[in-house]
């Protein structure tokens, strides 16, 4: 039988209040508290903390404090990444962020979700769906990426957009729910 952590990582219903998962979330809280107390002068310490927190971290990556996440180890970031102030990533499942990506202030990325059925939901069980952000993506301030979405290459997600479905390559999306408002030429 799968552990609750294995169920979480597989996208199955699971109990988040097991000792193992509570301990892992507390580890992430401790690391993010330390990270959020750093300043721009602490670049080496910031890098070390992100390497300890994230599952993988490419070169030239920077996250403005404050930053929040649930576990950290499910976040995988490629090179040339920048996240502005108040970024939140609920990483119960894997979050993959490609090369040359920018995340605006107050943007949120969610993998965690709950059953729609009220009887099932009140049991406290939850589940998660992975999020993928491809290369050369700019996510505007206070945008939200919901569980299970994939954002294609060269996409701009406008400020305040709520992404509820996959986004194709080379477009601008805006609104709630986010819809394509402009096609962009493919970057060579």
Residues 128-179: tens digit of each pLDDT = 999 999 999 999 999 999 999 999 999 999 999 999 999 999 999 999 999 9
Catalytic residue, chosen from 25, 76, 114, 129, is 114
Predicted local distance difference test score (pLDDT) of residue 1: 73
Domains and CATH numbers, the chain: 4-183 (2.160.10.10)
pTM exceeds 0.85 for this model? yes
Alpha-carbon distance values, 184 to 3, 156, 158, 173 (Å):
44, 9, 14, 11
Predicted local distance difference test score (pLDDT) of residue 66: 98
114 carries an active-site annotation: yes
């Amino acid at each position: 039988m799968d552990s609750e952590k294995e169920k979480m990582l597989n996208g199955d219903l699971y109990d988040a209040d097991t000792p193992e998962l509570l301990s892992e979330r507390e580890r992430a809280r401790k690391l993010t508290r330390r990270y959020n107390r750093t300043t721009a002068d602490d670049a080496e310490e910031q890098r070390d903390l992100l390497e300890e927190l994230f599952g993988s971290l490419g070169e030239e990556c920077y996250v403005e404090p404050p930053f929040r996440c649930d576990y950290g180890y499910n976040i995988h970031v490629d090179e040339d990444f920048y996240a502005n102030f108040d970024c939140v990533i609920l990483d119960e499942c894997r979050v993959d962020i490609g090369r040359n990506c920018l995340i605006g202030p107050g943007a949120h990325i969610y993998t965690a979700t709950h059953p729609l059925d009220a009887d099932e939901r009140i049991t406290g069980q939850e589940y998660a769906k992975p999020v993928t952000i491809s290369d050369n993506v700019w996510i505007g301030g206070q945008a939200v990426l919901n569980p299970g979405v994939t954002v294609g290459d060269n996409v701009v997600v406008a400020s305040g957009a709520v992404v509820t479905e996959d986004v194709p390559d080379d477009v601008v999306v805006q609104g709630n729910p986010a819809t394509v408002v402009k096609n962009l030429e493919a970057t060579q």
